[in-house]
């Protein structure tokens, strides 16, 4: 049967296809008279809009411009991800200033005149009682000079400075000033803690307590130090009698809180010293629990050598979004340039004899201080016993020893009664041990960061020092990082260390950048440092 299409003529089909095609194409351009008319209408409309609502249109344009600027700012890299040997700033950084003594300050509103760095202690306007402990110092140290103006005005604070730079008084004096101001407004006669200082090790906690308790005597500020490995009785008695400042390690402090003898509800000034080390040692749950017990309105101060993710998150939760950061010295993880670093590759069985040989050279007088680092607690006891059998007067500190024995050994080393000390990494950070001439790394640490902290026990206060390190094939995974540290400090890199490889696995993160920077092979060589007690060769 013929269809309708069959009845269409060829002309009709052509016309139909043309119409179908036209439907799917852009509309034809208007004729010139129509275009002219449209243009006139548009001009008239625009003129009317400007006449009736020009201010509204300008306002819309301003909004669009601001939106564009905001988008561009968000796309720019944030300045608060600056590296401080793996240290990143929490919150936004609005301003940065750098002084002639290599101090970098960053944070919000830091250029306000009230935050000007101090040239003298008197400029702080603190009482004579508080400044009594500073009378033997000519002027504030760089960390004190730049931290006090912020801390005395209640700002949250991140401090980066090596041990021995006056960090304890940098937070200790503002803490005591905070306590005295709180006392004025306090109606109750009961003395409860207003300040808390947490430290990763017993030795560092004791050192902080010694400085603060002495500095607080003229103003009547009372302190207690709590840590494990010793009886709780005296610590509980001190807390019950009333104290202003609690200094302690996280484990023991958490125990005392759970026992109900340490109340932190009124603590409004919190210090975390060596915060990264505390978390490295597995204290994060305890630290979080303790901080949650303090007053919700508080001032938080953190000193930390590195700023890993865990510490960054802790700061975000418990600090103001825009803390001030003060960096004294280099922002890169670097060894002290006053320390001559000597590295030699050894077999495990050769270390004992080599250690004795080095002691005969570096500790010939048996009066100068030499610090020998080992990795494990049992290793500390073994090396101590080995040296004692060979006639050396030596003491050791490690986690296996009772606190009383650790304190006694450290005191004997400090006062020179036994100037040869074997230690695990409990002595690598934080401890201010004066006049250590030589550090010997019998065992290489687990990280290059700990290596830098170990050798930092010598070459302090402008003096020269020597760090002699044994490196074994078991440590080859850290050879590249160690080579970079040596080159950055202009030290000699032994050929057999280079044989392990120079590759460095970049420890980079969006939050805190790279730990190490590559150092070129043509870095300057180290100059030899000699001591009066050294052999001529």
Average pLDDT, the chain: 79
Residue 299 in this model has a pLDDT that exceeds 90: yes
Compute the distance between CA of residue 26 and CA of residue 227 in angstroms, rounded to an integer: 83
Lowest-confidence region among 59-73, 257-271, 520-534 = 520-534
- Residue predicted with more confidence, 331 or 135: 135
Q: What is the pLDDT of residue 282?
A: 85
Q: What is the pLDDT of residue 45?
A: 53
Residue 512 in this model has a pLDDT that exceeds 60: no
Q: How confident is the model at residue 333 (pLDDT cuts 50, 70, 90)?
A: low
Strands 369-373 and 420-423: parallel
Compute the distance between CA of residue 69 and CA of residue 65 in angstroms, rounded to an integer: 6
Residue 52 in this model has a pLDDT that exceeds 70: no
Q: Name beta bridge partners: 106.
A: 96, 325
Q: What is the pLDDT of residue 465?
A: 92
Axis-axis angle for helices 250-258, 233-241 (nearest 10) = 70
Q: Which of 88-97, 196-205, 349-358, 481-490 has the highest mean pLDDT?
A: 349-358
Per the structure block, which two tokens stand in for 407?
A: 């304190």
- Among residues of the chain, what percentage have pLDDT more than 90? 49
Q: Calculate ∠ Cα 420-424-428, nearest 5°.
A: 85
Q: Which of 198-202, 278-282, 382-386, 501-505 has the highest mean pLDDT?
A: 382-386
The residues, ordered by sequence, that sit 6+ positions from 396 with a Cβ below 8 Å of its Cβ are 380, 381, 383, 384, 409, 421, 422, 423
Helix (H, G, I), strand (E, B) or coil at 11: helix
Q: What is the pLDDT of residue 102?
A: 75
Distances (CA, A) of 67 to 59, 61, 64, 78, 92: 12, 10, 5, 18, 19
Q: How confident is the model at residue 78 (pLDDT cuts 50, 70, 90)?
A: very low
Strands 245-248 and 395-397: unpaired
Residue range 223-230: average pLDDT?
Answer: 93
Helix (H, G, I), strand (E, B) or coil at 198: strand
Q: How confident is the model at residue 17 (pLDDT cuts 50, 70, 90)?
A: very low
Q: What is the pLDDT of residue 311?
A: 78
Q: What is the pLDDT of residue 338?
A: 82
Residue 305 in this model has a pLDDT that exceeds 80: no
Strands 95-98 and 103-107: antiparallel
406: left (phi over 0), alpha (psi -120 to 50) or beta: alpha
Axis-axis angle for helices 250-258, 284-293 (nearest 10) = 50
Per the structure block, which two tokens stand in for 360?
A: 């005969």
Residue range 343-364: average pLDDT?
Answer: 96
> Phi first, then psi: what are they for 49, rounded to 5°?
-65, -40
Q: What is the pLDDT of residue 253?
A: 96
Q: What is the pLDDT of residue 237?
A: 95
Q: What is the pLDDT of residue 188?
A: 66
Lowest-confidence region among 237-246, 333-342, 392-401, 472-481 = 333-342
Q: What is the pLDDT of residue 332?
A: 55
Q: What is the pLDDT of residue 522?
A: 52
Strands (E), 309-385: 324-328, 339-345, 369-373
Q: What is the pLDDT of residue 506?
A: 55
The residues, ordered by sequence, that sit 6+ positions from 35 with a Cβ below 8 Å of its Cβ are 29
Which run of H or of E encompasses 169?
Answer: helix 167-184
Per the structure block, which two tokens stand in for 522?
A: 């043509």
Please count the CA atoms within 13 angstroms of the CA of 276 that sit on its side-chain side.
21
- Among residues of the chain, what percentage have pLDDT more than 70? 71
* Count of residues in the chain: 537
Compute the distance between CA of residue 471 and CA of residue 521 in angstroms, rounded to an integer: 20
Per the structure block, which two tokens stand in for 536?
A: 């001529």
* Inter-residue contact 198 to 330 (CB < 8 Å): no
Residue 241 in this model has a pLDDT that exceeds 50: yes
What pTM does this model have?
0.66
Please count the CA atoms within 13 angstroms of the CA of 228 that sit on its side-chain side.
13
Compute the distance between CA of residue 191 and CA of residue 327 in angstroms, rounded to an integer: 35
Residue range 425-452: average pLDDT?
Answer: 84
Residue 392 in this model has a pLDDT that exceeds 90: yes
Render pLDDT for 104-133 as a digit per residue (tens, 0 to 9). 898 999 999 999 999 999 999 999 999 999
What are the structural domains, with CATH classification, of the chain? 81-328 (3.40.50.300), 339-498 (3.40.50.300)
Q: What is the pLDDT of residue 272?
A: 95
Largest CA distance in the chain: 125
Compute the distance between CA of residue 215 and CA of residue 172 in angstroms, rounded to an integer: 8
Q: What is the pLDDT of residue 274?
A: 86
């Amino acid at each position: 049967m013929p269809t309708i299409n069959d009845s269409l003529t060829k002309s009709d089909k052509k016309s139909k296809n043309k119409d179908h095609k036209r439907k799917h194409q852009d509309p034809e351009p208007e004729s010139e008279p129509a275009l002219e008319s449209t243009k006139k209408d548009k001009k008239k409309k625009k003129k009317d809009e400007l006449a009736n609502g020009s201010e509204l249109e300008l306002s819309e344009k301003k909004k669009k411009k601001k939106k564009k600027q905001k988008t561009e700012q968000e796309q720019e890299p944030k300045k608060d991800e600056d590296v401080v040997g793996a240290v990143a700033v929490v919150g936004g950084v609005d301003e940065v200033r750098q002084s002639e003594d290599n101090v970098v300050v960053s944070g919000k509103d830091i250029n306000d005149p009230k935050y000007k760095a101090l040239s003298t202690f008197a400029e702080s306007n603190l009482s004579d009682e508080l400044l009594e402990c500073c009378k033997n110092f000519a002027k504030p140290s760089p960390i004190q000079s730049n931290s006090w103006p912020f801390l005395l005005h209640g700002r949250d604070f991140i401090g980066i400075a090596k041990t021995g730079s006056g960090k304890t008084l940098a937070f200790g004096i503002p803490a005591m000033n905070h306590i005295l101001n709180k006392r004025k407004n306090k109606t109750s006669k009961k003395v409860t803690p207003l300040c808390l200082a947490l430290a990763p090790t017993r030795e560092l906690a004791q050192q902080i307590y010694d400085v603060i308790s002495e500095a607080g005597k003229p103003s009547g500020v009372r302190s207690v130090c709590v840590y494990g490995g010793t009886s709780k009785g005296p610590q509980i008695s001190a807390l019950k009698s009333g104290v202003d400042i609690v200094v302690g390690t996280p484990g023991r402090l958490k125990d005392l809180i759970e026992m109900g003898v340490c109340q932190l509800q009124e603590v409004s000034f919190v210090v975390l010293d060596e915060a990264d080390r505390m978390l490295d040692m597995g204290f994060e749950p305890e630290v979080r629990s303790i901080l949650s017990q303090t007053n919700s309105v508080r001032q938080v101060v953190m000193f930390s050598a590195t700023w890993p993710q865990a510490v960054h998150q802790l700061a975000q939760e418990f600090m103001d979004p825009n803390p001030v950061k003060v960096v004294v010295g280099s922002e890169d993880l670097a060894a002290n340039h006053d320390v001559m670093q000597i590295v030699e590759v050894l077999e495990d069985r050769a270390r004992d004899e080599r250690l004795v040989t080095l002691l005969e050279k570096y500790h010939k007088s048996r009066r100068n201080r030499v610090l020998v680092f080992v990795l494990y607690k049992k290793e500390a006891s073994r090396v101590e016993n080995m040296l004692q059998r060979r006639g050396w007067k030596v003491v050791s500190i490690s986690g296996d020893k009772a606190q009383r024995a650790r304190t006694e050994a450290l005191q004997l080393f400090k006062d020179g009664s036994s100037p040869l000390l074997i230690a695990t990494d409990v002595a690598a950070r934080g401890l201010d041990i004066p006049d250590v001439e030589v550090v010997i790394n019998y065992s290489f640490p687990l990280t290059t960061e700990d290596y830098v902290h170990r050798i930092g026990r010598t070459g302090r206060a402008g003096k020269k020092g020597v760090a002699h390190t044994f490196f074994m094939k078991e440590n080859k995974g850290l050879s590249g990082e160690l080579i970079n540290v040596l080159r950055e400090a202009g030290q000699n890199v032994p050929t057999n260390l280079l044989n392990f490889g120079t590759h460095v696995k970049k420890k980079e993160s969006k939050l805190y950048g790279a730990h190490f920077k590559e150092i070129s092979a043509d870095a300057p060589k180290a100059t030899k440092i000699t001591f009066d007690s050294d052999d001529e060769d």
